[in-house]
Every structure is written in structure tokens, then in C-alpha cells.
Amino acid sequence: MRLLGSVVALASCVVAVCAAQASAAASGRECPVTARAVYAVDHTNGKVLCAKNARMKLHPASTVKLMTALVVLDRKDVSDEISVSSRAANVQPTRAGLVAGTSHSVGELLAVLLAASANDAAVALAEAVAGSEDEFAGLMNRKARELGMRDSQFTNATGLPDRSQRSSARDLAILTRAAFRHPFIKKVMAEKRVTITDNDGRKISRANHNKLLWRLDRPQVLGKTGYTRSAQHCYAGIAYYDDRRVSLVILKSRKPWSDVFSVLGVPRTVGR
């Protein structure tokens, strides 16, 4: 009887596990990815397509530059001219190669910030808006609260490593949706290459870090990449279909592009 009872209990457990897995698959929430955290949501109906550690607080790397851009656009016009400080020009890479003492329009600096993840542009913009990057981080946190981002704490405009800087995949999906509502951000993020010119006539041309612009036509996936050793590969973007939009965020990934394909259900052979 004990043996029979054990067999019945084991069988019940197996059935329960299989049922749970089937339910997860039916709801579209299984995430066969290398990333530590994933969140994808269809804005047409609010359905969560994929969720894995969605509220886990992780290093967001350069995906924070979406917040940097939003805060700047709240307070500056894209035609405004700002000067590049020595501190901005010499910040840790990735840099666009801005020269201290020169000036650019806000729109140009946002272009290299978003497309080429330029840290020098991030610091120059932060200083122009708030006087210092520390003060600017306070504005970023205020904006996060306005958007309902409950898992985030920002300490710089670049996404460079800081123990206190954290966000979650769910929060970054909220940020991504807000950012891509802005026509300027969407326009810049769709460009494969951006070129800017300083007041001395010096041109800087940089490729967009989003490889999906070359690898996918449908859906069109626009987004911000990020990488540091602690954060690993990160991605925050939106997939544009004919009749719907899907926000997707991937944090701490070993294979970010494969993970994006998995979340969207795109064959890995596409774009090769």
C-alpha cells in the first residue's frame, strides 16, 4: 500500500508539472533564452508574451541612455547648442570622439548617444541640462517615478558600472515604451548610421549598435543595446508589426540576438 501510495503521489506530481508547463507554453510565457531576465509585452492587448525574473534588479548598462534621452527632451529643444566639457570628452568609452570646447546641437548629441551609445554625449547632455551628472541622475530618478518604474535606481547618464545603479526588465519595458513614443527617438533609432558636425566643421560618423537593423525587416526591431562585464549583454527595444507593437527587454544575456529571436519567435536563420 505504501508503494502504491508513493507511485500515485509521484504520478500526481508529474501530471501537475506537465500541466504547469503546458499552461506556461499556452500563455506564451516560456522564455528559452540565455538571459538572466526577460520581459516582453504586446501593447495592443497588454498581454505578457514572455517573463523571466522580470522584477529582478540588475545592472542595466547602456539601456539607461533611453532615460537620459527622455530627460533631455523634457528640458531641451533638439536645436539647442551645447558645449562639450573636458570631463565629457574624456569619459570612459564607448565614446563618439567629441572634442572639448566644441559645440553640437542637442539633436546631434542625442543621435550618437542613442545609435552609437556615446558616453561623451551622455555626459555633455547631462551637464547641459542639470549642471552635473549627479544632479542629472536625480532627474532620471524623478522621471522613473513618474513612469511607474518601481525597481530602478539611476546614478549616472551613461550606464557605466555603479553598484547602486539597478533596474528590472519590467521597468525597462515601461521606459522603452515611453521613449519610443517620442518621434525623435524613434527616428534616430531607425538609422543605421548617424553623422554629426561640430562648430569647427569636424564630422563624426558612427554606426548604430543595433544589429537587428541589418538582420530583420519584419518585424522592424528598434532598440538600445548595452554591455559591461557585470551587466553582460542587454537590450531594450520595440518590435513593430503591421498591427501591433511589442516591447522586449533582455538583461544579462550571453547571446542577445539569439535571445531576441527566441522571444519574438523569429527563426535564427533569418538575417544570416
pLDDT in tens, 210-222: 999 999 988 999 9
pTM metric for this prediction = 0.88
Give DSSP secondary structure letters for 166-213.
Answer: BB-HHHHHHHHHHHHTSHHHHHHHT-SEEEEE-TT--EEEEE-S-THH
pLDDT recorded at residue 30 = 66
pLDDT recorded at residue 29 = 60
**Tally of CA atoms within 13 A in the half-sphere of 140 that contains its CB:** 29
| Residue 62 domain-assigned (yes or no) | yes
Closest CA to 248 of 42, 110, 35, 24: 42
Catalytic machinery residues: 62, 65, 117
- Cell reading at 261: 529571436
Tens digit of pLDDT for each residue in 195-212? 999 999 999 999 999 999
| Residue 256 domain-assigned (yes or no) | yes
Count up the domains in the chain and report the number: 1
pLDDT recorded at residue 251 = 99
**Tally of CA atoms within 13 A in the half-sphere of 246 that contains its CB:** 24
pLDDT recorded at residue 193 = 98
Closest CA to 230 of 162, 154, 156, 158: 162
Q: Mean of the pLDDT values across residues 8-35?
A: 50
Q: Tell me which residue range forms the domain holding 132.
A: 32-264
Handedness of CA 253, 208, 267, 178 (dihedral sign): positive
**CATH code, domain with 110:** 3.40.710.10
Contact status, residue 38 vs residue 50, Cβ threshold 8 Å: yes
Entry field: residues in the chain: 272
| Residue 24 domain-assigned (yes or no) | no
| Residue 48 domain-assigned (yes or no) | yes
| Residue 22 domain-assigned (yes or no) | no
Residue 27's pLDDT band (boundaries 50, 70, 90)? very low
Handedness of CA 101, 133, 210, 245 (dihedral sign): negative
Give 118: exposed, middle or buried? Use CB within 10 Å, 0-12, 13-18, 19+: buried
